[in-house]
């Protein structure tokens, strides 16, 4: 078991089992007196949520609970959260849960004092400068899954129901003021969700490492994130009470989200339209696409993955890393093809057009065309590599 630690990169992080007991103090540090506690409909009923709320109540901090958050949060979820925040006179957010609750909570806190529509702050150019910084409320982030790393991110992914597309809402001040990273909170996570969220962390790290932009710091963080997944995801999947593995996976998730400022790629570009149209689990969808995209990028990654394989102690360079991914998917029970997650081929052409304009597509190490995306969707349906 790792010792407790306090980190200030990329924000203030309180890491260690049992540190949820510091939630009230974290609110005080962030200047939050009356928080809105944002979580999801499943988590709101669990003992870990009652414990967190109990910590606040014992300190005399009155929190209202908002749990109207979809697995892929929508503008309706955000609007309801903003209304709850304004009506209750809340001055900050405790975002408690997986990526959906964290993303929704961060956007609610960001939008509380804004007058422009949310879509005006999409991560396009300098659109974030349109925001009124004084209207942004502080956030305490408490992840209960080890996948998205949203707790250390400056954005939230929200589904636009009118266009069935996922949009990234961004502002530097959306970064949570304090993160409580308590591996004990992830113990109740079922094996299937442990697998899906863990593969999401791996996708973030691998794509950040593979992205062609120059950012050696992010690249190094990505490599360590991959190594942590390599040695801990199966352990956490097979024994959910393994606090060391759970802690290392939380760190891997945060590493991925810290590193992907360098870029993401076609795994996410292909996955986002599927999630928007079929409401699939994001991490699971990324896991299905991962080997097909790696194979597509093979020539562009040959040398980089030779180095990666060496750092990971994997023989065979690129092929060895690809084999590692395939074995890990198999051992975690990840489906190999899209049909196994409820996707058919009726909208492949539409999704291909959506994929190439997704903001993550530009970070792929090989240019992604509509024809490429269509072929990758078909390969992922047929299970064809090579």
Per-residue model confidence (pLDDT) at position 56? 98
| DSSP class per residue in 266-300 | HHHHHHHHHHHHH---HHHHHHHHHHHHHHHTHHH
Q: What is the mean pLDDT of residues 71-76?
A: 94
Q: Do 111 and 155 contact (CB within 8 A), yes or no?
A: no
Q: What is the mean pLDDT of residues 169-198?
A: 97
pLDDT in tens, 326-376: 999 999 999 999 999 999 999 999 999 999 999 999 999 999 999 999 999
Q: Do 175 and 154 contact (CB within 8 A), yes or no?
A: yes
- How far, in Å, CA of 334 to CA of 355, rounded? 22
Quote the strand ranges of 191-259, DSSP E. Answer: none
pLDDT above 80: residue 8: no
Mean model confidence pLDDT for the chain: 96
Nearest to 225 by CA among 251, 262, 207: 251
Per-residue model confidence (pLDDT) at position 338? 98
Per-residue model confidence (pLDDT) at position 2? 82
pLDDT band, very low/low/confident/very high, at 7 (cuts 50, 70, 90): confident
Angle 298-312/317-332 helices, nearest 10 degrees? 80
Q: What is the percentage of the chain residues whose pLDDT exceeds 90? A: 96
Q: What is the mean pLDDT of residues 56-72?
A: 96
Torsion angle of C-alpha atoms 63, 144, 78, 70, degrees rounded to 10:
-120
pLDDT band, very low/low/confident/very high, at 321 (cuts 50, 70, 90): very high
pLDDT above 90: residue 311: yes
CB atoms within 10 A of CB 287: 28
Q: Do 207 and 260 contact (CB within 8 A), yes or no?
A: yes
All residues at 6 or more sequence positions from 307 whose CB lies less than 8 Å from its CB, including other chains: none
Per-residue model confidence (pLDDT) at position 128? 96
pLDDT band, very low/low/confident/very high, at 134 (cuts 50, 70, 90): very high
Question: How many angstroms from the chain centroid is the CA of residue 59?
Answer: 31
- How far, in Å, CA of 25 to CA of 5, rounded? 16
Nearest to 108 by CA among 142, 134, 84: 84
Q: What is the DSSP letter of 362?
A: G
Q: What is the mean pLDDT of residues 300-313?
A: 97
- How far, in Å, CA of 163 to CA of 181, rounded? 35
pLDDT above 90: residue 386: no
Pairing of strands 165-170, 178-181: unpaired
pLDDT in tens, 189-208: 999 999 999 999 999 999 99
Per-residue model confidence (pLDDT) at position 164? 86
CB atoms within 10 A of CB 77: 25
pLDDT above 80: residue 219: yes
Nearest to 118 by CA among 127, 357, 294: 127
Q: Do 149 and 258 contact (CB within 8 A), yes or no?
A: yes
pLDDT in tens, 367-379: 999 999 999 999 9
What are the chain's domains?
A: 5-185 (3.40.50.1970), 189-382 (1.20.1090.10)
């Amino acid at each position: 078991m790792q010792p407790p630690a306090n980190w200030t990169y990329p924000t203030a992080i309180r890491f260690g089992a049992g540190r949820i007991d510091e939630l009230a103090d974290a609110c005080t540090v962030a200047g939050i007196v009356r928080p809105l506690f944002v979580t999801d409909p499943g988590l709101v009923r669990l003992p870990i949520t009652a414990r967190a709320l109990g910590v606040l109540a014992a300190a005399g901090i009155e929190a209202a609970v908002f749990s109207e958050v979809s697995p892929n949060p929508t503008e309706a979820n955000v609007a309801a959260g903003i209304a709850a925040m304004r009506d209750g006179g809340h001055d900050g957010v405790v975002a408690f849960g997986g990526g959906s609750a964290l993303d929704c909570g961060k956007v609610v806190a960001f939008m509380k004092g804004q007058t422009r529509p949310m879509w005006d702050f999409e991560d396009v150019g300098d659109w974030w400068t349109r925001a009124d910084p004084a209207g942004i409320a502080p956030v305490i982030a408490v992840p209960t899954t080890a996948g998205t790393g949203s707790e250390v991110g400056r954005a939230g992914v929200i589904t636009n129901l009118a266009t069935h597309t996922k949009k990234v809402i961004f502002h530097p001040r959306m970064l949570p003021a304090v993160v409580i990273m308590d591996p004990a909170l992830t113990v109740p996570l079922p094996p299937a969700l442990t697998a899906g969220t863990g593969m999401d962390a791996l996708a973030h790290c691998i794509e950040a490492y593979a992205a062609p932009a120059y950012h050696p710091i992010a690249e190094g963080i990505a490599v360590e994130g991959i190594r942590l997944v390599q040695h801990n995801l199966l352990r956490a999947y097979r024994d959910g009470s393994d606090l060391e593995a759970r802690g290392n996976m939380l760190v891997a998730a945060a590493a991925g989200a810290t590193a992907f400022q360098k870029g993401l790629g076609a795994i996410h570009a292909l996955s986002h339209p599927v999630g928007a149209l079929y409401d699939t689990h994001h991490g699971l969808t990324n896991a299905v696409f991962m080997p097909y995209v790696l194979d597509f990028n093979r020539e562009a990654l040959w040398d980089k993955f030779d180095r990666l394989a060496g750092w990971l102690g994997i023989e065979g360079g690129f092929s060895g890393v690809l084999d590692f991914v395939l074995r890990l998917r198999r051992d975690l029970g990840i489906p190999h093809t899209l049909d196994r997650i409820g996707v058919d081929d009726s909208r492949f052409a539409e999704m291909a057009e959506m994929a190439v304009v997704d903001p993550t597509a530009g970070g792929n190490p090989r240019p992604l065309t509509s024809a490429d995306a269509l072929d990758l969707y078909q390969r992922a349906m047929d299970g064809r590599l090579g």
